[in-house]
Amino acid sequence: MIIFKSLIICIIVTITGVFTINAQSKFELPQLGYAYDALEPVIDAQTMQIHHSKHHQTYVNNLNKALEGTAAENLSIEEIIKNISQYSTAVRNNAGGHYNHSLFWTILTPNKNTQPSERLIQAINQQFGSVDSLKKLLNNAASNQFGSGWAWLSLDKNNKLFISSTSNQDNPLMDLTEKQGRPILGIDVWEHAYYLKYQNKRGDYLLAIWDVINWDEVSKRFETSE
């Protein structure tokens, strides 16, 4: 009898666990591929920890809440982003926050001296003249973004590179942006991305961040999107 009762309890626990797993929210906070202090001195550990585990986690939580019980629960983040005009402001802000940060973490790296692929360098040279020119133009877009937002390097529908900026958590993949395309590199210029270390010196942050840009990942995104 004791063995039988134990078996029943195990079955109930297992079934409960299955329902708990199935009931978990769809979108989850992605893990970083490096430690919070790995990007120092460019980005300090405290900023990374707060940015990732607090700010990004909040976007994920709020997105799941905004989508709960809707048909969009079963869509990918890209499907939602591409048709963002169909959704509420809450979905727009939080889906953008989740998509943008998920990309941002991957294009940062503690590895030193990563370089664009040959094909990406050719495209950059053709469009902007040089990699240094690209950096200046992208930093200029980021510097001139009033308030919170992002600066982007993206590919348009003709696979031409272009630079743009967006406010808040918008991005070029959204169907309501002025210039649409697929982002391959994004720089976060919300104050929470840099203020603990750089305070009001956004320009210093933008100059420093190139030391931790993961050109291997940016190149992969470029070549995958071609």
Percent residues over pLDDT 70 in the chain: 88
**Alpha carbon of 24 to those of 27, 64, 122, 204: distances in Å?**
9, 10, 45, 41
Structure confidence by residue, pLDDT tens digits, 141-166? 999 999 999 999 999 999 999 999 99
**Alpha carbon of 100 to those of 133, 208, 226: distances in Å?**
24, 20, 20
Sheet holding 182-188, edge to edge: 161-167, 149-155, 182-188
Judge whether 221 lies within some domain.
yes
Average pLDDT over the chain reads: 90
Residue 186: which CATH number? 3.55.40.20
Is the torsion defined by CA of 126, 129, 131, 133 positive or negative? negative
Residue 172 pLDDT > 80, yes or no?
yes
Judge whether 115 lies within some domain.
yes
Per-residue model confidence (pLDDT) at position 225: 74
Residue in 194, 205, 184, 216 with CA at minimum distance from that of residue 117: 216
Q: For the chain, how many structural domains are there in total? A: 1
Judge whether 141 lies within some domain.
yes
Judge whether 4 lies within some domain.
no
Judge whether 201 lies within some domain.
yes
Structure tokens at 149: 């937002």
Domain span at residue 107?
A: 46-226
Judge whether 3 lies within some domain.
no
What confidence tier does 4 reach under pLDDT thresholds 50, 70, 90? very low
Q: How far apart are CA 135 and CA 153, in angstroms?
A: 10
Judge whether 164 lies within some domain.
yes
Structure confidence by residue, pLDDT tens digits, 44-75? 999 999 999 999 999 999 999 999 999 898 89
Judge whether 37 lies within some domain.
no
Per-residue model confidence (pLDDT) at position 226: 58
Is the pTM value of this prediction over 0.85? yes
Segment among 19-23, 37-41, 170-174 with least mean pLDDT: 19-23
Q: How far apart are CA 26 and CA 18, in angstroms?
A: 15
